[in-house]
């Protein structure tokens, strides 16, 4: 029999997990926005809004210290960060466009270098996905092969029911375990009907066709056309669930400091600036081209996946109205 | 809130004929300028894919000129495209630009700083009724509810010193000055409360630099805050560096900021940056009687020394 959970019990589950010492991260009110943030109690969970930033930061934080150093009498002491200390985490009420992202990013974080920071967090995180029942005009998950009811990437998946509460589906073993462990909070779904899924607009994209065009158009006037408008900020990359570039900086004083890893963005003028002063992507057209190429060609060439889940965050956030869906539509029609 | 109150908020501030008449005037002039060869590009706006949105557009042919629009979605300050930061556009030759009153102030500032020459520019001024706020529901018309906060206190609806004015300013109601009220609320706080206010906002900063990248006055080719040999300001998105960045930004714009509030609009983390800009502007006015205006001024008060400058802070 399919299971269900009431909203009250979902919040109770969060309370219980927090009490047991897990880190629970979910959509939470943050000023004028909703953000995925650690929840102190179930009542903090916001179920009605797509968080402004994606859930990737649960695995790949905006900024993290990867080592610290201090100069003492016996020379310089370097302290590594031990990923084994990362807490068990439950990511709750994650939208399908966010839940799908870690499955895409696993490939790059375990490719030629095993990123222990990412992998340890990934191993210790369970994802409770939540189907979307409303979309806005920036949403386009269906155009890139996902859907508002997509369970891929979730361990446990919740679908809102018309009479309140959620239908619960265990997608992975991790999900089964959660379901079994907290069985007292779940009931039988009975005959309650799920609410109809959201219907994001926009034409479906033929990603193979887009890739074929990208294969042949490293040089195209399109890149300059977009670059003429692009302001060169990192809003698109920083809100994106799939962008994963980072920079490493040593910060502090001669006496002590830290090596920190922080998000970076290919739109920044200095993103590929070499120590010599040479910059292979010395103009915005080359930088925007890289953004598109990386998402829909290079990553596909390397890992057979594309770096876009159609969440629409870059479309909403771009201060100069660059709309990746419109760009893809244009390429699709070429 | 009663139904009547809700309705008052959502009553369109202007009728739709206003937008189409401004649009038509821009198109006609842009088409003329491009056909005659007077300019090689017109920087304006065109409609976006999503309803109610518009985006910066660079028209280089009479056909493209026919696609230009003016709508409440025309939020950008296009002066950005005339700065050193956007060298590609200037390369196109002599250009014309569509400018709202707030954008004109930025153009004047850039001229004062020798970044632009008036004679090299054709300015199509817009008789502006206001544009959408960053969080406005764009399926609704421009109303008291959807209008940008900066537009509630606009003093430059009618552009001055332009080559042509598109449209005429409609009768507009007096709107409550939300931003001034917010600034007054902040000033009434204790320093500790104010610090808490900004600490919370800066804690959310992701250092995407959208505030810098959309600012017409952030045209430095080498931003001090990007330096890493040696590092001037911590670039990692952490409280110390975030706070330092926003203070540096506010200080560097003091007396220069034209008040277009693009930094605040562009911020994906909703940090009310224009409050900092306004506070700095207020200080400069009180200390030096200086205001960024429509007339280009060669030097701002922070770029020159005068014998009678206030020196009481030197102890």
A267 assigned to some structural domain: yes
B10 assigned to some structural domain: no
Query: A322 and B55 in contact by Cβ < 8 A?
Result: yes
Q: Does A262 touch chain B (CB under 8 A)?
A: yes
Asked if residue A248 and residue A182 are part of one domain, the reply reads: no
Asked if residue A218 and residue A182 are part of one domain, the reply reads: no
Asked if residue A171 and residue A44 are part of one domain, the reply reads: yes
Nearest to B207 by CA among A60, A312, A63: A63
- How many Cβ atoms from other residues are within 10 Å of residue A139's Cβ? 26
Cα B20 from Cα B287, distance rounded (Å): 44
B45 assigned to some structural domain: yes
Nearest chain A Cα to B264, which residue?
Answer: A319
Domain end marker among B166, B192, B218 = B166
B235 assigned to some structural domain: yes
When pLDDT is averaged across residues A86-114 and rounded to a whole number, the result is: 96
Asked if residue A246 and residue A183 are part of one domain, the reply reads: no
| ipTM, 2 dp | 0.95
Q: Does A106 touch chain B (CB under 8 A)?
A: no
Asked if residue B206 and residue B126 are part of one domain, the reply reads: no
Query: B268 and A31 in contact by Cβ < 8 A?
Result: no
Query: A263 and B204 in contact by Cβ < 8 A?
Result: no
A216 assigned to some structural domain: yes
When pLDDT is averaged across residues A218-235 and rounded to a whole number, the result is: 95
Query: What's the pLDDT at A1?
Result: 67
Asked if residue B235 and residue B189 are part of one domain, the reply reads: yes
Asked if residue A177 and residue A28 are part of one domain, the reply reads: yes
Range of the domain at A41: 3-55+83-188
Query: B235 and A262 in contact by Cβ < 8 A?
Result: yes
Query: A31 and B51 in contact by Cβ < 8 A?
Result: no
A139 assigned to some structural domain: yes
Domains: count for chain A: 2
**pLDDT tens digits, B181-205:** 999 999 999 999 999 999 999 999 9
Nearest chain B Cα to A248, which residue?
Answer: B236
B44 assigned to some structural domain: yes
Asked if residue A258 and residue A121 are part of one domain, the reply reads: no
Give pTM, 2 decimals: 0.94
Pull the structure tokens for residue B315.
């102890």
The three-point CA angle A294-A299-A304 to 5° equals 150
Residues from chain B that touch A138, judged by Cβ atoms under 8 A, are 50
Range of the domain at B22: 15-166
Query: What's the pLDDT at B2?
Result: 42
Asked if residue B259 and residue B156 are part of one domain, the reply reads: no
pLDDT at B90 over 70: no
Domain end marker among B145, B166, B187 = B166
Asked if residue A238 and residue A184 are part of one domain, the reply reads: no
Nearest to B28 by CA among B165, B128, B121, B159: B165
B262 assigned to some structural domain: yes
**pLDDT tens digits, B265-285:** 999 999 999 999 999 999 988
A112 assigned to some structural domain: yes
N- to C-terminal Cα separation, chain A = 49
Cα A17 from Cα A159, distance rounded (Å): 21
When pLDDT is averaged across residues B1-15 and rounded to a whole number, the result is: 67
A235 assigned to some structural domain: yes
Domains: count for chain B: 2
Asked if residue B190 and residue B47 are part of one domain, the reply reads: no
B171 assigned to some structural domain: no
A137 assigned to some structural domain: yes
Host H or E run for residue B164: strand B164-166
B313 assigned to some structural domain: no
When pLDDT is averaged across residues A226-233 and rounded to a whole number, the result is: 94
Asked if residue B160 and residue B24 are part of one domain, the reply reads: yes
Asked if residue B93 and residue B186 are part of one domain, the reply reads: no
Asked if residue B159 and residue B21 are part of one domain, the reply reads: yes
Residues from chain A that touch B50, judged by Cβ atoms under 8 A, are 137-138, 315, 323
Asked if residue A168 and residue A223 are part of one domain, the reply reads: no
When pLDDT is averaged across residues B151-176 and rounded to a whole number, the result is: 93
Asked if residue B209 and residue B135 are part of one domain, the reply reads: no
Asked if residue A252 and residue A130 are part of one domain, the reply reads: no
Asked if residue A284 and residue A219 are part of one domain, the reply reads: yes
Asked if residue A41 and residue A173 are part of one domain, the reply reads: yes
Residues from chain B that touch A247, judged by Cβ atoms under 8 A, are 235
Residues from chain B that touch A312, judged by Cβ atoms under 8 A, are none
| Residue bearing the bigger pLDDT, B291 or A77 | A77
Asked if residue B195 and residue B131 are part of one domain, the reply reads: no
**pLDDT tens digits, A134-187:** 999 999 999 999 999 999 999 999 999 998 999 999 999 999 999 999 999 999
pLDDT at A59 over 90: yes
Residues from chain A that touch B43, judged by Cβ atoms under 8 A, are none
Q: Which residues pair with residue A28 across a beta bridge?
A: A35, A45
Asked if residue A279 and residue A171 are part of one domain, the reply reads: no
Asked if residue B183 and residue B105 are part of one domain, the reply reads: no
Mutant choice from A49, A56, A231 vs B, greatest count of B C-beta within 10 A: A231
Query: B56 and A229 in contact by Cβ < 8 A?
Result: yes
Asked if residue B192 and residue B213 are part of one domain, the reply reads: yes
User: Three-state DSSP class for A9?
Assistant: helix
Domain end marker among B166, B196, B226 = B166
B77 assigned to some structural domain: yes
A300 assigned to some structural domain: yes
Cα A128 from Cα A94, distance rounded (Å): 6
How distant is the Cα of B167 from the closest Cα of chain A, in angstroms? 24
Nearest chain A Cα to B198, which residue?
Answer: A31
Query: B231 and A326 in contact by Cβ < 8 A?
Result: no
A309 assigned to some structural domain: yes
How distant is the Cα of B137 from the closest Cα of chain A, in angstroms? 11
Query: What's the pLDDT at A322?
Result: 97
Please, what is the angle between helix A116-123 and helix A96-109, to 10°? 140
pLDDT at B59 over 80: yes
């Amino acid at each position: 029999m399919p299971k269900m959970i009431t909203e009250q019990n979902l919040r109770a589950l969060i309370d219980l997990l927090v009490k047991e010492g897990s880190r629970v991260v979910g959509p939470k009110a943050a000023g004028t926005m909703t953000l995925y943030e650690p929840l102190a109690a179930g009542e903090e969970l916001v179920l009605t809004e797509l968080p402004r930033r994606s859930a990737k930061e649960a695995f790949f934080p905006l900024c993290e210290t990867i080592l610290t150093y201090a100069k003492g009498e016996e020379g310089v002491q370097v302290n590594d960060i031990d990923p084994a200390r990362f807490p068990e985490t439950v990511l709750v009420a994650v939208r399908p466009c966010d839940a799908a992202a870690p499955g895409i990013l696993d490939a790059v974080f375990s490719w030629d270098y095993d990123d222990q920071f990412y992998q340890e967090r990934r191993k210790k995180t369970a994802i409770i996905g939540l189907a979307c029942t409303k979309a806005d005009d920036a949403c386009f998950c269906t155009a890139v092969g996902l859907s508002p009811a997509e369970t891929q990437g979730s361990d446990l998946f919740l679908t809102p029911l018309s009479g309140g509460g959620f239908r619960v589906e265990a997608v992975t073993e991790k999900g089964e375990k959660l379901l079994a462990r907290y069985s007292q909070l779940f009931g039988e779904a009975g005959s309650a009907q799920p609410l109809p899924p959201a219907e994001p607009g926009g034409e479906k994209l033929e990603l193979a066709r887009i890739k074929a065009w990208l294969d042949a158009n490293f040089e195209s006037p399109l890149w300059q056309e977009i670059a003429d408008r692009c302001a060169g900020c990192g809003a698109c990359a920083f809100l994106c669930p799939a962008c994963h570039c980072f920079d490493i900086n040593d910060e502090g004083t001669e006496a002590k400091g830290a090596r920190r890893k922080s998000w970076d963005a290919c739109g920044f003028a200095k993103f590929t600036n070499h120590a010599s002063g040479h910059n292979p992507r010395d103009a915005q057209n080359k930088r925007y081209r890289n953004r598109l190429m990386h998402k829909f060609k290079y990553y596909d060439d390397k890992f057979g996946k594309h770096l876009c889940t159609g969440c629409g965050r870059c479309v909403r956030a771009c201060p100069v109205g660059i709309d990746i869906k419109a760009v893809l539509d244009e390429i699709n029609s070429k | 809130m009663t139904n009547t109150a809700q309705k008052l908020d959502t009553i369109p501030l202007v009728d739709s004929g206003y937008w189409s008449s401004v649009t038509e005037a821009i198109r006609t002039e842009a088409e003329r300028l491009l056909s005659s060869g007077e300019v090689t590009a017109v920087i304006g706006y065109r409609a976006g894919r999503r309803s109610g949105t518009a985006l910066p557009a660079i028209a280089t042919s009479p056909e493209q000129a026919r696609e230009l629009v003016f709508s409440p979605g025309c939020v950008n300050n296009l002066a950005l495209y005339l700065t050193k930061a956007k060298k590609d556009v200037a390369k196109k030759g002599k250009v014309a630009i569509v400018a709202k009153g707030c954008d004109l102030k930025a153009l004047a500032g850039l001229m004062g700083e020798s970044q632009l020459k008036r004679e090299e520019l054709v300015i199509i001024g817009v008789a502006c009724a206001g544009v959408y706020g960053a969080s406005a529901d764009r399926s609704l018309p421009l109303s008291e509810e959807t209008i940008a906060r900066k537009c509630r206190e606009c003093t430059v609806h009618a552009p001055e010193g332009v080559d042509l004015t598109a449209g005429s300013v409609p009768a507009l109601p007096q709107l409550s000055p939300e931003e001034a009220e917010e600034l007054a609320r902040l000033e009434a706080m204790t320093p500790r409360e104010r610090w808490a206010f900004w600490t919370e906002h800066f804690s959310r900063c992701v250092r995407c630099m959208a505030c810098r990248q959309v600012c017409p006055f952030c045209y430095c080719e080498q931003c001090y805050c990007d330096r890493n040999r040696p590092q001037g300001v911590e670039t990692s998105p952490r409280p110390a560096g975030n706070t330092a960045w926003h203070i540096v930004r506010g200080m560097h714009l003091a007396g220069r900021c034209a008040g277009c509030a693009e930094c605040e609009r562009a911020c994906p983390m909703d940090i009310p940056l224009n409050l900092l800009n306004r506070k700095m502007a207020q200080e400069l006015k009180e200390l030096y009687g200086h205001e960024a205006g429509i007339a280009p001024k060669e030097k701002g008060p922070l770029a020159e020394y005068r014998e009678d400058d206030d020196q009481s802070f030197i102890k």
